[in-house]
Amino acid sequence: MKTVRIDTPSRSYPVHIADNMLDRAGELAAEHVGICKAAIITDNIVDGLYADKLENSLRKSGFDTVKFVIPSGEKSKNAENFLLILNFLAENGLSRPDAVFALGGGVVGDIAGFAACVYLRGIKLVQIPTTLLAMIDSSVGGKTAIDLSSGKNLAGAFYQPNIVICDCSALETLDYEQRANGFAEIIKYAVICDKELFEGLKVPKSLDISDIILRCVEIKRDIVTADERDTGRRQILNFGHTLGHAIEKLSGFTLAHGKAVSIGMAIITKACENAGICENSCYNELVQMLNRYSLPSKTSHTQESLFNAAISDKKRKGEKITLVLPEKIGRCFLKTMSLSEMREIIKLGI
């Protein structure tokens, strides 16, 4: 079992990574949340695949379990389901020593994490990510959220889990598309700060997925522990995301997060190359990498529609917005710019 220890100002916790971890979830969780009532929150797809395994493991270790299932997909990360989960916790009598177990991808992790934070002003939280994206990104770092009709993740809180358990065996049931989504975020980590990881991703067959998850969690740990509340360095993780969120929104949330971020990364990198900000080979290298993992790099949206969708991003501060710009593969920096500069960047990138 590989373990990364995350020490943030608000909480310290381990991220455990290995095969067949669901069988050990009860034993591992007991160490960090104590034997208690466990409210498993999951979606209908993951429920059919892994909930029984988790429940068995928890019961074997002495947990009392209850379960709430939401429909799978981004549309479920909404205020209505959020309230349903809170009411479910209340109706089942969960109290302060009890715990929410978020079993699923980033959608479940985000909404269940937010519910754990708000219910009784905070009960314990165990993240059990089952998608690649959730293992390398959303389950770690404490961002929880739901979407509002005006945009993604507009209501949420910083709330660190007590433990994260990544069962790599669960990735076997992920379809190709969902794996590719995870690889979009892995490519993001490589471009922002790890050239060696980028080189490794050029030979997919040589990759050990648990090593990649470990490396990504380490990168996220280093960034998040230095800036838990996302006021500075942590924003580097948003590479490709301001435009990615805009593209996701313009698609009516039908385009997957990873694909939208891929296009966002490509637009920004092309713009930086055209503006002489980053090395000349950067854009080609990135596009080749995205192609290798069947990820898109282009959009048919116009400059103006992208701009309008992007400026509603929550990262905007008045007439200024901070973008993550690449200098070369393995190094990016933050630049706060006016909205008209941002419009220019989009023009250079599409």
Ligand X SMILES: NC(=O)c1ccc[n+]([C@@H]2O[C@H](COP(=O)([O-])OP(=O)(O)OC[C@H]3O[C@@H](n4cnc5c(N)ncnc54)[C@H](O)[C@@H]3O)[C@@H](O)[C@H]2O)c1
Tokens of 293: 């993992």
Over its C-alpha atoms, the chain yields an Rg (Å, rounded) of: 20
Residue 106 makes contact with ligand X by CB under 6 A: yes
Residue 215 makes contact with ligand X by CB under 6 A: no
Residue of closest CB approach to ligand X: 106
Residue 21 makes contact with ligand X by CB under 6 A: no
Place of tokens 């209340």: 90
Q: How many CA atoms does the CB half-sphere of 53 hold within 13 Å?
A: 18
Check if the beta carbon of residue 142 is closer than 8 Å to that of residue 135: no
As measured in angstroms, the least distance from the Cβ of 79 to ligand X is 14
As measured in angstroms, the least distance from the Cβ of 146 to ligand X is 9
- Beta-carbon contacts of 190 under 8 Å, excluding residues fewer than 6 positions away, are 197, 198, 201, 329, 330
As measured in angstroms, the least distance from the Cβ of 161 to ligand X is 11
Q: What whole-number distance in Å separates Cα of residue 32 and Cα of residue 27?
A: 9
Residue 225 makes contact with ligand X by CB under 6 A: no
Residue 67 makes contact with ligand X by CB under 6 A: no
Q: Which is nearer to ligand X, 72 or 225 (CB)?
A: 72
Per-residue contact string for residues 249-278; x = within reach of ligand X by CB under 6 A:
--------x---------------------
Place of tokens 């080749």: 288
Q: Which is nearer to ligand X, 280 or 294 (CB)?
A: 294
Residue 167 makes contact with ligand X by CB under 6 A: no
- Beta-carbon contacts of 26 under 8 Å, excluding residues fewer than 6 positions away, are 57, 58, 59, 60, 61, 62, 63
Residue 143 makes contact with ligand X by CB under 6 A: yes
Q: Phi/psi of residue 296, each to 5°?
A: -80, 160
Residue 178 makes contact with ligand X by CB under 6 A: yes
Site for ligand X, residues 277 to 316, rule: CB under 6 A: none
Residue 153 makes contact with ligand X by CB under 6 A: yes
Q: What whole-number distance in Å separates Cα of residue 291 and Cα of residue 278?
A: 21
Span near ligand X by CB under 6 A; candidates 3-11, 83-91, 103-111, 189-197? 103-111
Whose CA is closest to 315, among 190, 107, 152? 152
Site for ligand X, residues 69 to 88, rule: CB under 6 A: 72-74, 77
Alpha carbon dihedral 323, 176, 145, 160, in 10-degree steps, equals: -90
| Amino acid at residue number 276 | G
Q: Of residues 131, 235, 297, 299, which one binds ligand X by CB under 6 A?
A: 131
Residue 329 makes contact with ligand X by CB under 6 A: no
Q: Of residues 33, 70, 115, 133, which one binds ligand X by CB under 6 A?
A: 133
134 three-class SS = helix
CB atoms under 10 Å from CB of 215, counted, come to 19
Per-residue contact string for residues 27-46; x = within reach of ligand X by CB under 6 A:
----------------x-xx
Residue 181 makes contact with ligand X by CB under 6 A: yes
Total residues in contact with ligand X, by rule CB under 6 A: 30
**Residues written for the chain:** 350
Q: Of residues 3, 20, 173, 336, which one binds ligand X by CB under 6 A?
A: 173
* 324 DSSP β-pair partners: 334
Q: Which residues bind ligand X (CB under 6 A)?
A: 43, 45-46, 49, 72-74, 77, 104-108, 110, 130-131, 133-134, 137-138, 141, 143, 152-153, 170, 173-174, 178, 181, 257
